[in-house]
């Protein structure tokens, strides 16, 4: 009996160049994104070997991880940041790469600008020296995070050796209730499967709920699939994806657009396709989620309380919970809504797109940040920033007491000037709550943009299902699509 093929299999097979007896496959790479932090060693290795970048036209350099997000008319004060940014400029010039530098109107986080500029399109393979490269799978691309040595191989050969992952389907069914978001969905998925539940797999998100999500909501889901251990994630493209790409800077045009559409429409997973494993989630009864510990699986609903080590299924798990509670400064039984906050961060490649800022502004407008909270908004790209300012979103945030910043990874990773102080507690729309992730001793709670916005106003977490959202027409006169 002939079975259908998954989108992953279709993209994999069309890019397969060679196979080795040890199970490694050589895959052609269509796009390579590189940034200032992971690229220096790879470029230096090229120089030492006397090699060039094989396809500079398919390689794009981006400044994102440690760029300052404040006033860009000022010198970069951090010595390491300045050094890495200058190095990327020099390497991009030497090897003939397109560079989105500190002052580019298209600068931003790699996983934000790739989709919004049309660098990411369905059916391609894409690599980047960052674990959250899985984000691009929301557009139907096979996107792989790679290390420095692999980056050197892609630079030199436009290909990568990789063991073929298994295939896992995660079916999302039902409809979200008001105040619950795609961020809550992926946090709940990771909570259920654990941080290792998808190891060795490419996860394809399927089901009617997946189809109902906007492209930007899907980007949030594929972005965080890596936190469940997945090698990457992917979603079959549809008309929403094609319209999202249409007219973007690097999107196909003219007759090429028609040809691209024809090819893209052949990509979605066929009926009857077989996966190595499947998991189903009904999201209809899901409540807003808040992480409490030091990995994204340590998450509970907003109406729940901090768990106790005694509730853990194994001794090892109990020790992990105990360590997380100590680091986070939390006691078992504490209600999530009773946890006070010092900082709110709306940003990162998970939740710093225009829709994320819009939903946050719908909570914020006409209100003011709690007197004990520092709150900042860092758009995912300069393009997002300009579009938000055209809608007047910046004024809404600033009038409410938020800091309105330039684009970059910012407090998500704490490699730049935006850091938490030891013991400081942050509601963050980012993707990782590891120890010291946002600064030495910083305590991170992962939440959705609307939860972060509400928490900024109240100084604590609240049930966002009870929050009144400003009507879009009131938020931006003429409507958000004006």
pLDDT tens for 91-135 read 999 999 999 999 999 999 999 999 999 999 999 999 999 999 999
Has residue 102 been placed in a domain? yes
pLDDT tens for 232-257 read 999 999 999 999 999 999 999 999 99
The answer to whether residues 312 and 357 belong to one domain is: yes
Task: With a cut of 60, say whether residue 153 has pLDDT above it.
Answer: yes
The answer to whether residues 338 and 470 belong to one domain is: yes
Give me the domain span that covers residue 335: 289-475
Point out which residues pair with 289 in neighbouring strands. Answer: 301
Residue 475: pLDDT band with limits 50, 70, 90: confident
Sheet holding 159-163, edge to edge: 16-19, 24-28, 159-163
Task: With a cut of 70, say whether residue 481 has pLDDT above it.
Answer: no
State the total domains in the chain: 2
Has residue 130 been placed in a domain? yes
Beta strands in 359-446 (DSSP E): 374-377, 403-404, 425-428, 443-446
pLDDT score recorded for residue 1: 54
The answer to whether residues 397 and 462 belong to one domain is: yes
Lowest mean pLDDT among 394-403, 457-466, 470-479: 470-479
pLDDT tens for 221-230 read 999 999 999 9
Has residue 2 been placed in a domain? no
Q: Which of 278, 299, 318 is a domain's end point?
A: 278
pLDDT tens for 433-448 read 999 999 999 999 999 9
The answer to whether residues 86 and 172 belong to one domain is: yes
pLDDT score recorded for residue 472: 85
pLDDT tens for 252-307 read 999 999 999 999 999 999 999 999 999 999 999 999 999 999 999 999 999 999 99
Task: With a cut of 90, say whether residue 476 has pLDDT above it.
Answer: no
State the Cα–Cα distance between residues 310 and 274, nearest whole angstrom: 40
Q: Which of 254, 278, 302 is a domain's end point?
A: 278
The answer to whether residues 75 and 193 belong to one domain is: yes
Task: With a cut of 70, say whether residue 2 has pLDDT above it.
Answer: no
Has residue 333 been placed in a domain? yes
The answer to whether residues 64 and 186 belong to one domain is: yes
Write the DSSP string, 234-263: E----HHHHHHHTT-TTS--HHHHHHHHHH
The answer to whether residues 256 and 325 belong to one domain is: no
Predicted TM-score (pTM) of the model is 0.96
Quickly list H helices, 231-353: 239-245, 254-264, 315-328
Kindly state the tokens that stand for 211.
């189809």
Q: What is the mean pLDDT of the chain?
A: 96
pLDDT tens for 453-474 read 999 999 999 999 999 999 888 8
CA distances from 403 to 343, 419, 442, 448, 470 (A): 11, 14, 19, 18, 21
Sheet holding 59-62, edge to edge: 98-100, 59-62, 31-35, 125-128, 142-145
State the Cα–Cα distance between residues 284 and 465, nearest whole angstrom: 13
pLDDT score recorded for residue 479: 52
State the Cα–Cα distance between residues 298 and 194, nearest whole angstrom: 9
State whether residue 20 is helix, strand or coil.
Answer: coil
H or E element: which one contains 163? strand 159-163
Identify whether the C-beta of residue 72 lies closer than 8 Å to the C-beta of residue 123: no
Mean predicted confidence (pLDDT) in 30-54: 96
The answer to whether residues 319 and 191 belong to one domain is: no
pLDDT score recorded for residue 193: 98
The answer to whether residues 407 and 348 belong to one domain is: yes
The answer to whether residues 354 and 261 belong to one domain is: no
Conformation bin of residue 180: beta by default, left when phi > 0, alpha when psi is -120 to 50: beta
Has residue 247 been placed in a domain? yes
Residue 371: pLDDT band with limits 50, 70, 90: very high
Task: With a cut of 60, say whether residue 78 has pLDDT above it.
Answer: yes
Task: With a cut of 80, say whether residue 199 has pLDDT above it.
Answer: yes
State whether residue 304 is helix, strand or coil.
Answer: coil
pLDDT score recorded for residue 482: 42
pLDDT tens for 331-369 read 999 999 999 999 999 999 999 999 999 999 999 999 999
Conformation bin of residue 41: beta by default, left when phi > 0, alpha when psi is -120 to 50: alpha
> What is the CB neighbour count within 10 angstroms for residue 326?
10
Q: Which of 223, 255, 278 is a domain's end point?
A: 278
The answer to whether residues 196 and 252 belong to one domain is: yes
The answer to whether residues 274 and 346 belong to one domain is: no
CATH number of the domain where residue 129 is located: 3.30.499.10
């Amino acid at each position: 009996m002939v079975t259908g093929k998954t989108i992953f299999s279709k993209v994999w097979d069309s890019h397969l160049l060679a196979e080795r007896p040890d199970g490694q496959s050589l895959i052609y790479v269509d796009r390579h994104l590189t940034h200032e932090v992971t690229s220096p060693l790879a470029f230096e290795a090229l120089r030492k070997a006397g090699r060039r970048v094989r396809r500079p036209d398919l390689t794009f350099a981006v400044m994102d991880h440690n760029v300052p997000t404040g006033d860009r008319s000022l010198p970069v004060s951090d010595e390491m940041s300045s050094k890495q940014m200058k190095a990327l400029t020099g390497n991009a010039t030497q090897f003939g790469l397109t560079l989105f530098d500190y002052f580019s109107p298209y600068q931003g986080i790699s996983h934000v600008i790739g989709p919004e500029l049309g660098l990411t399109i369905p059916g391609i393979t894409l690599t980047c020296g960052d674990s959250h490269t899985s984000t691009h799978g929301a557009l139907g691309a096979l996107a792989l995070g790679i290390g420095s040595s692999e980056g050197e191989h892609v630079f030199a050969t436009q290909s990568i050796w990789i063991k073929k992952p298994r295939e896992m389907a995660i079916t999302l069914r039902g409809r979200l209730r008001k105040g619950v978001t795609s961020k809550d969905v992926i946090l709940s998925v990771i909570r259920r499967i654990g941080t290792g539940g998808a190891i060795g797999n490419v996860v394809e998100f399927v089901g009617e709920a997946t189809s109902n999500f906007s492209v930007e909501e899907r980007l949030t889901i594929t972005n965080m699939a890596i936190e469940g251990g997945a090698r990457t994630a992917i979603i079959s493209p549809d008309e929403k994806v094609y319209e999202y790409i249409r007219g973007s800077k690097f999107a196909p045009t003219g007759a090429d657009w028609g040809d691209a559409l024809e090819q893209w429409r052949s990509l979605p997973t066929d009926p009857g396709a077989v996966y190595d494993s499947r998991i189903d989630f009904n999201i209809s009864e899901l409540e807003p989620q808040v992480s409490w510990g030091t990995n994204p699986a340590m998450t509970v609903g907003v109406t729940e309380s901090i768990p106790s080590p005694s509730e853990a299924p194994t001794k090892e798990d109990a020790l992990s919970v105990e360590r997380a509670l100590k680091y986070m400064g939390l006691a078992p039984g504490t209600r999530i809504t009773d946890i006070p906050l010092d900082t709110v961060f709306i940003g990162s490649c998970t939740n710093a797109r225009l829709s994320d800022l819009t939903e946050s502004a719908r909570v914020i407008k006409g209100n003011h940040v709690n007197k004990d909270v520092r709150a900042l908004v860092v758009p995912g790209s300069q393009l997002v920033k300009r579009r938000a300012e055209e809608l007047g979103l910046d004024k809404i945030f600033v009038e409410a007491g938020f800091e309105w910043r330039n684009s970059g990874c910012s407090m998500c990773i704490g490699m730049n000037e935006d850091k938490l102080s030891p013991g400081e507690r942050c509601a963050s729309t980012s993707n990782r709550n590891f120890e010291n992730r946002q600064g030495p001793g910083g305590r991170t709670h992962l939440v959705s943009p609307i939860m972060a916005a509400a928490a900024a106003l109240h100084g604590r977490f609240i049930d966002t299902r009870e929050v009144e959202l400003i009507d879009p027409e009131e938020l931006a006169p003429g409507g958000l699509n004006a």
